[in-house]
Amino acid sequence: MSTKTPSEADILRPIDNFSKKYFILFGVAGLALGAFMVGWMYQLWQGMAVTGLSDWGSGGGVTWGLYIGAFIWWVGIAHGGIILSAAVRLLGMDRYMPVARLAEMLTLAGLSAAGFFILVHMGRPDRMVTSVLGHYHITVNNSPLVWDVTVITAYFVLTATYLALTLRYDITRLRGQLPDYLEPVYKVLTLGYTKKEDKVIERMVWWLALAIIIMAPLLLHGGVIPWLFAVLPTYPGWFSAVQGPQFLTIALTSAISGVIILSYAFRRAYDWDHIITDDIFRGLMLWLGFFCLLFLWLQLQQLTVGSFAPATDLATATDSKFSHWMYVVPMLMVLGVLAFIFAQTVRPSLFSKTRSIIAAVLVLMATLVEKTYFVIAGFWYPTFSIYEATPGDYFPSVIELLSLTGTIGLVVLFFLVVSKLVPVVELHAIEHLNGEHGHDHESDHEAATEPEVDA
Amino acid sequence: MIAPATLLSALSWLLYHGYEGTEGVTGFPNIGTYIIFGVVLVPIYVMIAAWFIGEPKDTKTGLMGVTYLVGITAQMWIGMFVLTMIIAVVFYGGLPEPLASGGP
Amino acid sequence: MSTDDDSFHPLGEEWEGELETMLDDTEYDSELGMQMAQDAMAVTKGELSEAAFHEKYHDDVMAEFGEDQRPTQEAYEQAQSDETGTVGRMLDKFDGDGEESRRETMKKMGAAGAAAVGLSAWGAMDDGQPAHVATAEDGDDGGDEGTQLGMVLDLERCDGCLSCVTACQEENQLDQGVNWMYILDYEDSTPGGRNRLIRPCQHCSDAPCEKVCPTTARHTRDKDGLVLTDYDVCIGCRYCQVACPYGVNYFQWEEPDVSTDEIRDIYSDMDGDHMTDDRDRWVDSRAPRGVMSKCTMCPTRQDGHMGEDYVGTTACEEACPPDAIQFGDMNDPDSAPQQYLSNVVQSRARMQVDGQSPNMEEVQESYDFLDEEIELLDMEFMPGPDRDEIEAALFIQGEIDEDDLSLDEEELRDVLLDILDDEFEDELDEEELSEDDLESIVDDLLDGVEDGDDIERALAAMDTVIADSEDAIQDVVDRYESREITPAEVEEALEIVDGAEPEDVVISEGGITDEATAQQVLEAYAGDDASTFKLLEDIGTNPNVTYIGNEPGPEAEQVDGPVAYDDVGLTDNRKEVLDEETVGDFGVSL
């Protein structure tokens, strides 16, 4: 099927082309977002009591729930951007170049959704800027939440800068074929562009990618986010150095899954089989399998250490893992996905895009549930568990559940809008697939004529 | 004549507006000082340095990069500021302290 | 009034001599006293400045008394500062006495900030306005560690009545389920002892809630070490609640039941609104919607807004009937909590014996009566029949006459009838005698009739009243001299362990208390179990609540207490209240 040659026209197809499906999807996503906005406004009006949360301790509930679980989840998904970009730019894995920009955009979308959750879970979101920024010089020294805000801002800014810098090349060259009514946007994006900046920008974004790959996985999702929990000594389910690496594996699995789904959606919508080839999905699946393995391996660490001769409080927390569906089911799901990917490695004919999508969806569901369990189980089994009302009761209320669909709608809308403004596949990727210019990538040059393997 | 003391007094009001840390628990210096400024942000320091050192480099382009960094950060937080002020007025009866006077 | 003698005192030499004699009676240096008095006169006459007076005797006073609280201190300091000059004053704004604390302050602020701070202190002193930046610990009166408010909680004295929880709820107008003060009974694997926990906020010195707060809303108030929440700054992220190991935080999930206007009304009589403290920050009473709250240990009380009497108290401490709560400065060895803690047995005995009978005075009176130093009617303490009966009996016996009688005729008749009711109880029951018969017996008694069986019995009844009284008094003395520990002996023991000489204190050597046995008496009376602990001490929060009693183990689980929260109009589990507001409650729990 894919004997076509990748062309500029391909990547420009999304822009300035409105189909019925597009509008339907826009409507659905808009509705999802709108429903949540209504719920959020009700929450702003009435207070957090509209959720299923309550004070932990004598208050009989959990104080952080789905909002925070989903926050962690979205930040994890957002790591797709740097994983792919770093793979391409730093490690020379050109195979993934066609999906790199989509992944970076997923970072921006994912971080926006995560930021939204921060705002939604606060009792006084109106003070987010005045109270937090206003006291930043004091609190950055001690509060893990402020560290969180710092690093998320940094990651977002770095990724946006990366996108902005790399878009200049594309926009300049494709300017003539881009819609006129968006001219002001393109003018701003390419302000001061000269051809000789290309090499300089290349180098700058290389360093950008390096900065992000060190910062985001190791210090954001493998750093300040787990530290929110792992530095508190009175929550045996949380208090461990393993949480840094553990959270990182979750980010990696979720990120790859997000990229798989996103890539497939665009490939399908715009007939990009010859650009986002099956080969990319095969490769992504392999990486997904590897990260799933790491994920389960680190869970094994926790289960072993928590079961052998644990202190009283840790014993209770670990017992819960073995019996609560919110932990067991996600583990089984990830294990299942891993098993399939292993089988696929041994028998490549098992691969299909559909199965890849299913695997990705399963992993995303598993990580969301497991992360939410992680958060609420902390409050269920604290060291000071003397209260009769601990473990507390919790079930996400309707508004909390709407936040899930709402943010998914937000991310969908993000892509629907952005894909109409700029090309979501790098021009470099097209050039590269056509073997056009003298890049100094020595590694695998995937030509676009590889036949698809049918399942 | 405005005494330098009053100016500095005003500056310290702006910076601290009556708030401060508790020694050993909050405020400078503490674990976060080292973690953020000594570890987490180091890649960014290195990156910005690399933009201006080494070949091929172009100071103007480097500055453009820095402008992007600063500009996007500013746009993020200014946008957030506007949104939160709207929320404040609509749902919480007014601007938050210190923009408006606090108190019950 | 002028005299022509040498005395410095306006009232003359004789008066001066009397003063000296009075001074001699104290254990302190009379000569110093006299000298100081002389110079004090000079100060009042304007011949000597206050500052000079203060300086002249400061060392002597410190040596003699260990402290110098004279009102001339202010003048002395002012003179000192006038001498020091601006720079010196600037540096003095940093708390403490020298390099160490200045360096600490600089560390706190960062060098640039310190410069601003130092100069702003200068600026502040120039316009006489308080520096906005608290460079020194506010209100710190010189102790190295400053004030640290906290509590000593005697779990053995707590009876689970929930008065403290109710008082706190009323003081702060809290919603249902917002139990800043919380009492819980628990079961534990280790047997024995009462298992009850009083759980206020621990106001930790290294509060994890403060450390994690992203806005400084949760902060420690320097002047007294209270950990408070600024309701105007808090963003409601609930991280403090997450970080607190003890579970003392209560978030305001919805609009509070009581409005700030209502609170203002309730406290309209006081100096302030019970919400803003003396730094003008809203930290007290219930939180507004969307913000975190917890036990505050009543800062507006500490600031004197409710009046001087309330400083150093908390609502819960005041309300506690068995006095299980001691609130005060944990850094001050003379504060109530530290005094309680320094000898728990003594403190408990002191509280337990309060108001008990027979106390020392009563026993002393009893001895005096038996030694015939006082008459029956001289006694205030009447362990047997009451005063009216004794008077009536003595009157009938002719021991006292009408002038000494405090009863009027009708009262006298009533009392006599009561006595006869008891005497002739059987006859009345069997209806051999009637009330009217008794009345006529009373008439006869009052007329001085002495013949007749009934009259003789009536007169015998009078004798019995007196005899009973004397027996009761004897009984008190017997108890005192027996192995039984009477409250009087507990009081004696308390004074002896406090340092009094036994021979000065003990009522009679027949009693069981002397120097050797005083502590044993107290332990036998109040219990000798006085183990203390702090909650989760190994976590490193440095809580400022010290407990006396059993420490809950890791497997301790709450059980119902003697008083249910519902019974006193409170709610134990807050979620029951909040669930009413939940949108789309599926009715199940994960």
Structure confidence by residue, pLDDT tens digits, C456-503: 999 999 999 999 999 999 999 999 999 899 999 999 999 998 888 888
Within 10 Å of residue B34's Cβ, how many Cβ atoms? 12
Share of chain C above pLDDT 70, in %: 81
Q: Where are the beta strands (DSSP E) in C64-211?
A: 149-154, 182-187, 196-199
**pLDDT over 60 (residue A454):** no
C537 touches chain A (CB under 8 A): no
CB-CB neighbors (< 8 A) of A398 in chain C: 583-584
* Banded model confidence at residue A443, pLDDT cuts 50, 70, 90: very low
C583: closest CA of chain A, how far (Å): 5
- Decide which of C105 and B95 is more confident: B95
CB-CB neighbors (< 8 A) of B84 in chain A: 119, 125-130
Q: A236-269: per-residue pLDDT in tens?
A: 999 999 999 999 999 999 999 999 999 999 999 9
CA–CA separation, C314 and C301 (whole Å): 7
Share of chain A above pLDDT 90, in %: 90
**pLDDT over 60 (residue C208):** yes
CB pair distance less than 8 Å for B96 and A126: yes
Task: Name C494's bridge partners.
Answer: none
Instruction: Determine the average pLDDT of the residues in A333-351.
Output: 96
DSSP string, C430-485: TTSS-HHHHHHHHHHHHHT---SHHHHHHHHHHHHHHHHHHHHHHHHHHHHHSSS-
How much is the pLDDT for C124?
38
DSSP string, C195-243: -EEEE-----TT-HHHHH-SSS-EEEETTTTEEEE-TTT-----HHHHH
Q: A128-184: per-residue pLDDT in tens?
A: 999 999 999 999 999 999 999 999 999 999 999 999 999 999 999 999 999 999 999
Q: Are A232 and C242 in contact (CB under 8 A)?
A: yes
* Of the listed ranges A62-76, A142-156, A428-442, C292-306, the one predicted with least confidence: A428-442
C186: closest CA of chain A, how far (Å): 8
How much is the pLDDT for A425?
95
Instruction: Determine the average pLDDT of the residues in C85-89.
Output: 47
CB-CB neighbors (< 8 A) of C578 in chain A: 49, 53-54, 61
Written in H, E and C, the secondary structure of A90-104 is CCCCHHHHHHHHHHH
How much is the pLDDT for B54?
82
Q: C161-200: per-residue pLDDT in tens?
A: 999 999 999 999 999 999 999 999 999 987 766 799 999 9
CB-CB neighbors (< 8 A) of A387 in chain C: 184, 247, 558
* Banded model confidence at residue C31, pLDDT cuts 50, 70, 90: confident
How much is the pLDDT for C404?
83
Return the residue in C176, C186, C202, C575 with the most chain A beta carbons within 10 A, the one to mutate for interface testing: C575
Share of chain B above pLDDT 70, in %: 88
* Banded model confidence at residue C135, pLDDT cuts 50, 70, 90: very low
Nearest to B43 among A125, A165, A214 (CB): A214
Nearest to A56 among C182, C247, C291 (CB): C247
Instruction: Determine the average pLDDT of the residues in A203-213.
Output: 94
Q: Which residue of C has its CA nearest to A386?
A: C557
Nearest to C251 among A55, A234, A384 (CB): A55
The DSSP bridge pattern shows strands C226-229 and C218-221 to be antiparallel
How much is the pLDDT for C123?
37
How much is the pLDDT for C446?
87
B39 touches chain A (CB under 8 A): yes
pTM assigned to the model: 0.81
C533: closest CA of chain A, how far (Å): 15
Q: Which residue of B has its CA nearest to A211?
A: B43
Structure-block tokens of residue A348: 């490549």
How much is the pLDDT for C570?
96
* Banded model confidence at residue A17, pLDDT cuts 50, 70, 90: confident
Sign of CA dihedral A97, A103, A108, A111: negative
How much is the pLDDT for C519?
87
**pLDDT over 70 (residue A292):** yes
CB pair distance less than 8 Å for A384 and C585: no
Return the residue in C542, C565, C590 with the most chain A beta carbons within 10 A, the one to mutate for interface testing: C590
C216 touches chain A (CB under 8 A): yes
B24 touches chain A (CB under 8 A): no
How much is the pLDDT for C114?
39
Instruction: Determine the average pLDDT of the residues in A209-231.
Output: 95
Q: A26-54: per-residue pLDDT in tens?
A: 999 999 999 999 999 999 999 999 999 99
Residue for token pair 């710092």: A150
What ipTM does this complex have? Answer: 0.93
How much is the pLDDT for C104?
47
How much is the pLDDT for C81?
55
| C410 CB burial (10 A radius; 0-12, 13-18, 19+) | exposed
Averaging pLDDT over each range in A74-88, A333-347, C17-31, which range is the top one? A333-347
Structure-block tokens of residue A197: 């900046």
B59: closest CA of chain A, how far (Å): 10
Return the residue in A42, A58, A313, A403 with the most chain C beta carbons within 10 A, the one to mutate for interface testing: A58
Structure-block tokens of residue C183: 């009492």
CB pair distance less than 8 Å for B104 and C133: no
How much is the pLDDT for C94?
45
Nearest to B12 among C108, C120, C207 (CB): C120
- Decide which of C76 and C358 is more confident: C358
CA–CA separation, A221 and A245 (whole Å): 9
* Banded model confidence at residue C57, pLDDT cuts 50, 70, 90: confident
CB pair distance less than 8 Å for A384 and C575: no
How much is the pLDDT for C80?
63
Nearest to A389 among C554, C573, C590 (CB): C573
**pLDDT over 70 (residue C121):** no
* Banded model confidence at residue C9, pLDDT cuts 50, 70, 90: low
CA–CA separation, C218 and C228 (whole Å): 6
Return the residue in C93, C102, C109, C229 with the most chain B beta carbons within 10 A, the one to mutate for interface testing: C109
Chains A, C: CB contacts within 8 A come to 208
DSSP A450: P
Q: B38-87: per-residue pLDDT in tens?
A: 999 999 999 999 999 988 778 999 999 999 999 999 999 999 999 999 99
Instruction: Determine the average pLDDT of the residues in C328-344.
Output: 93
Instruction: Determine the average pLDDT of the residues in C303-322.
Output: 95
C584 touches chain A (CB under 8 A): yes
Nearest to A312 among C197, C234, C554 (CB): C554
Chains B, C: CB contacts within 8 A come to 101
* Banded model confidence at residue C504, pLDDT cuts 50, 70, 90: confident
B75 touches chain A (CB under 8 A): no
CB-CB neighbors (< 8 A) of A390 in chain C: 247
Instruction: Determine the average pLDDT of the residues in B92-101.
Output: 89
How much is the pLDDT for C245?
98
Share of chain C above pLDDT 90, in %: 54
Q: C529-587: per-residue pLDDT in tens?
A: 678 999 999 999 999 999 999 999 999 999 999 999 999 999 999 999 999 999 988 88
Mean pLDDT of chain C: 84
**pLDDT over 50 (residue C118):** no
- Selection from C256, C251, C147 nearest residue C209 by Cα: C251
Q: C343-383: per-residue pLDDT in tens?
A: 888 899 998 899 898 999 999 999 999 999 999 988 999 99
* Banded model confidence at residue C68, pLDDT cuts 50, 70, 90: confident
A117: closest CA of chain C, how far (Å): 11
**pLDDT over 80 (residue A189):** yes
Q: Which residue of A has its CA nearest to C583?
A: A50
How much is the pLDDT for C542?
96
Rounded to the nearest 5°, which phi and psi values hold at C59?
A: -65, -45
- Decide which of C100 and B92 is more confident: B92
Nearest to A64 among C233, C238, C586 (CB): C238
A304: closest CA of chain C, how far (Å): 22
Within 10 Å of residue C503's Cβ, how many Cβ atoms? 9
Return the residue in A37, A107, A141 with the most chain B beta carbons within 10 A, the one to mutate for interface testing: A141
Q: Which amino acid is at C419?
A: I
How much is the pLDDT for C75?
65
